[in-house]
Amino acid sequence: NAGVTQTPKFQVLKTGQSMTLQCAQDMNHNSMYWYRQDPGMGLRLIYYSASEGTTDKGEVPNGYNVSRLNKREFSLRLESAAPSQTSVYFCASSSRLAGGGETQYFGPGTRLLVL
C-alpha cells in the first residue's frame, strides 16, 4: 500500500494564480482531511470529508475549496492564491480504532510558496 499520496511536492505561485493540490489514499478510509502547517502554529484543519460526497469546513477554510471526487481522492483548490497561503499542506485519511476514535494517517505534504 502506498498509504496517502500528495502531488505536487513543491509549488511556487504568483499572487492571484489558482492551483489544485491532489490527495489520494489506498486504505479504503472513509474520512479525509486537509491541514496547513505554519511555524509555531501546529496543524490547522482547512476542510474535511467524513465520507464520499460530503465535505465540511474546518478551522481555516477561507480562500480554499475542496472536492471529494470519490472514496480515494480529496483535492484542495486555491482559486486566487495569496501570500498568506504560503504554507505546507498535509492531507490525511482516517480509520476507526477498535476502542473508539479514529487514527489519522498523513501524506508527505506539499510545500507551497505564493509570491
Partner 1 sequence: GNSVTQMEGPVTLSEEAFLTINCTYTATGYPSLFWYVQYPGEGLQLLLKATKADDKGSNKGFEATYRKETTSFHLEKGSVQVSDSAVYFCAATGTASKLTFGTGTRLQVTL
Pick from 18, 56, 70, 83 the residue near partner 1 by CB under 8 A.
56
According to DSSP, the β-strands at 10-13 and 110-114 are parallel
The number of residues in the chain equals 115
Please tell me whether residue 22 binds partner 1 under the rule CB under 8 A.
Answer: no
Please tell me whether residue 53 binds partner 1 under the rule CB under 8 A.
Answer: no
Please tell me whether residue 23 binds partner 1 under the rule CB under 8 A.
Answer: no
Binding to partner 1 (CB under 8 A): which residues in 57-76?
58
Beta-sheet strands, E only, within the chain: 4-7, 10-13, 19-25, 31-37, 43-49, 56-57, 64-68, 74-78, 87-96, 102-106, 110-114
Please tell me whether residue 41 binds partner 1 under the rule CB under 8 A.
Answer: yes
What residue type is assigned to position 5 of the chain?
T
Select 78 or 109, whichever has its Cβ closest to partner 1.
109
Select 83 or 108, whichever has its Cβ closest to partner 1.
108
CB of 25 to partner 1, least distance (A): 12
End-to-end Cα separation, the chain, in angstroms: 36
* CA–CA separation, 20 and 50 (whole Å): 20
Question: In this structure, what C-alpha cell is assigned to residue 73?
Answer: 481522492
Select 32 or 81, whichever has its Cβ closest to partner 1.
32
For binding to partner 1 (CB under 8 A), which residues are involved?
Answer: 4, 31, 33, 40-45, 48, 50, 56, 58, 90, 92, 94, 97, 99-109
